[in-house]
Amino acid sequence: MKESKVVRDEVCVKRVQQSTTRDPEMEEISTPRIESKKKTAAEGWSAARPGVVLVACLMTLPVLVFLPGHYWTSSFVWINAVKMTKRIDKGPEDGSIPNSLASKDKLLGGLLSPNFDEQSCLSRYKSALYHKASPHLPSSYLVHKLRTYEALHKKCGPNTPLYKKSIEQLKSGHSMELMDCNYIIWTPYNGLGNRILSLVSAFLYALLTDRVLLIHVTEDSTDLWCEPFPDTTWVLPSDFPIKDLTKLHGGTKESYGNLLRDNKISNNPKTVVVSLPSYIYLHLEHNYQHLDRLFFCDEDQMVLGKVNWLILQSDLYFVPSFFSIPAFEDELRWLFPARESIFHLLVRYLIHPTNTIWGMVTRYYDSYLAKSNERIGIQIRIFQWAPIGSDDLINQILACSKQENLLPDIELENRNPSSTNVARSKAVLVTSLYQEYFDKFQSMYYENSAKTGDLVSVYQPSHEGHQSSEKQFHNQKALAEIYLLSFCDVLVTSAVSTFGYVSHGLAGLKPWFLPYAKNRKASEIPCIRFSSMEPCLHTPPRIGCRGNRTVDTIKLQRHVRTCEDLGEGIKLFD
């Protein structure tokens, strides 16, 4: 988001559902890589709780009888999956990363395809060494869907005969039925966090509608992300016939809302459709208007489903609103038995920093963070619509730290801590556009000792001064820092920041967030823990669809709740 923009315009059953995450094939991929030391710990875990396991199985049986077929296989491997997670969750004792990928599941339970050249994108398979094990393994249905998608992308991707055929169709000015390939083109808008949220949303839309996702790479976003799909590209070729993709806006006449307004298309199922345009622009930015928001209605999805090319510009994580579209409901449930895993799994699948950025990330991590026993990430984002003095914000962070026991208190009388204490080392990673927060924390632990005797070191990789999302190196540093935050054990992030959402989603953590200031005053509640890992949809559509069915009603309420950090927003939860 831009700094100046006011954005504010069932326990066992649940476990069974969350457990649809493994199949025997995935077990095979992962199990041999587990170190024998960790195996022993896991065996100890299960051995200590045979009664619990038996009761869990007996309680699960009646539920399974009513579940669709694919739940069956996965549910019975749940216990194994839990064992697995226990085994791989622990890293080496000193907090450093294990030196061999063999001890980690580099394919993330089948999420990632093995068909890539490892050297071309080191982060893809090496991130597993740095990230904590995922709290949610992908469902076998998601794994199957991703492999199917990859095959479709290879068949329809740029420079294939089917792509060329689709370009001819695009030039004809009309959509055609029975095209083999249909596309959604994502265009960048706003800051990097916003971009990643909308890109992940676009990818899920592509999965749900069998479209191929292509991205318009602008100068500021070159050498940022690796290719996510094997043996093909997702980069829109430069000779794509529609130019000026970055100049799309709410007034663009090809936007879905404007086509409806001008009666160029109809979303009335009774209207006989003579012809549909060859492409439609989807304007799903935070300032979208009523007619554009109809994108989230079933009838409108039926119309859009007949259009071969869609071009999207968005700065939102619009996934929560998919749950109001009946046509997507079953598929979403099968793909993601745990709703709060959606962003986490898809961002780990899709976003892999290029080797340039991976070099920055690993050099920094290995030099400063790796050796500490604990890494605490503090992401500080100041929005112009919620100004706050730096001292007030630092006091808020310190109050949060005290409340949640995150950073050690300092010894005000500056006595040396008792020598009998075994010193633990804590690395504090501050990310911010500004340097003053780092300075304050660093001098605090330089000038004073920690009461606990812990050794606290403070680091900040960059302080860019202001947001410059139009600059490539600026965006590369931003992605590097999002990744570094995602390697932390504990995160404190700023409310409403998409930069923060992406880092905690990648990490698979529920961070504490710092509520934003009102009337220049820090929030009285210093921080609150997010209840779900999912990002917040800042401006949900809240519209009535045809037949007066309102998008934001009871059905949706089963899946979403109000965001803890923004009253107008909604987010998915389990």
Q: List 215's β-bridge partners, or say none.
A: 186, 235
Nearer to ligand GDP, 22 or 504 (CB): 504
Site for ligand GDP in 458-517 (CB under 6 A): 462, 464, 467, 469, 474-475, 477-478, 481, 497-499
- Cα 378 from Cα 526, distance rounded (Å): 14
**At 71, is the secondary structure helix, strand, or coil?**
helix
Nearer to ligand GDP, 190 or 267 (CB): 190
Which of 91, 138, 158, 193 lies at the binding interface for ligand GDP (CB under 6 A)? 193
CB of 467 to ligand GDP, least distance (A): 4
The full DSSP string for 85-148 is HHHHH---TTSPPPS-GGGS-TTTTTTS-S-S-GGGGHHHHHHHHHSPPPSSPPPHHHHHHHHH
CB of 26 to ligand GDP, least distance (A): 33
Nearer to ligand GDP, 283 or 474 (CB): 474
Site for ligand GDP in 403-462 (CB under 6 A): 431-433, 462
Place of tokens 């069915």: 549
Nearer to ligand GDP, 196 or 572 (CB): 196
Evaluate the CA torsion angle 49, 55, 58, 60 in order and state its sign: negative
CB–CB of 282/311 below 8 Å?
Answer: yes
Nearer to ligand GDP, 499 or 530 (CB): 499
- Cα 121 from Cα 435, distance rounded (Å): 31
Counting contacts by CB under 6 A, is residue 190 touching ligand GDP?
yes
Nearer to ligand GDP, 109 or 535 (CB): 535
Counting contacts by CB under 6 A, is residue 1 touching ligand GDP?
yes
CB of 493 to ligand GDP, least distance (A): 9
Sheet architecture: strand order including 425-432? 455-459, 425-432, 374-380, 490-494, 512-514, 528-529
Q: List 310's β-bridge partners, or say none.
A: 184, 280
Evaluate the CA torsion angle 226, 228, 229, 232 in order and state its sign: negative
CB of 164 to ligand GDP, least distance (A): 35
CB of 53 to ligand GDP, least distance (A): 43
Counting contacts by CB under 6 A, is residue 150 touching ligand GDP?
no
CB of 433 to ligand GDP, least distance (A): 5
Which residue of the chain is nearest ligand GDP when measured via CB?
A: 191
Please count the other Cβ atoms lying within 10 Å of the Cβ belonging to residue 210.
12
Nearer to ligand GDP, 381 or 426 (CB): 381
Nearer to ligand GDP, 111 or 485 (CB): 485
Per-position x/- string for 23-62, each x denoting binding to ligand GDP as judged by CB under 6 A, each - no binding = ----------------------------------------
- Cα 157 from Cα 149, distance rounded (Å): 11
Length of the chain: 574
Nearer to ligand GDP, 301 or 460 (CB): 460
CB of 498 to ligand GDP, least distance (A): 3
Nearer to ligand GDP, 276 or 380 (CB): 380
Nearer to ligand GDP, 3 or 409 (CB): 3
CB of 423 to ligand GDP, least distance (A): 29
Counting contacts by CB under 6 A, is residue 571 touching ligand GDP?
no
Site for ligand GDP in 106-135 (CB under 6 A): none
- Cα 66 from Cα 472, distance rounded (Å): 52
Give how far Cα 517 sits from Cα of 67, 179, 503, Å: 46, 52, 22
Which of 192, 350, 488, 491 lies at the binding interface for ligand GDP (CB under 6 A)? 192
Report which secondary-structure segment, H or E, holds 12. helix 11-18
Query: Chain-centre distance of CA 208, in angstroms?
Result: 17
Nearer to ligand GDP, 237 or 465 (CB): 465
Per-position x/- string for 354-393, each x denoting binding to ligand GDP as judged by CB under 6 A, each - no binding = ---------------------------x------------
CB–CB of 520/387 below 8 Å?
Answer: yes
Counting contacts by CB under 6 A, is residue 233 touching ligand GDP?
no
Phi, psi for 450 (deg, rounded to 5): -80, 140
**At 300, is the secondary structure helix, strand, or coil?**
helix
Which of 140, 559, 540 lies closest to 340, judged by CA? 559
User: Of 98-106, 187-195, 232-240, 557-565, which segment contacts ligand GDP by CB under 6 A?
Assistant: 187-195
Contacts with ligand GDP: how many residues (CB under 6 A)?
22
Instruction: Tell me the two tokens of residue 224.
Output: 């940022």
* Contacts to ligand GDP by CB under 6 A: 1, 190-194, 381, 431-433, 462, 464, 467, 469, 474-475, 477-478, 481, 497-499
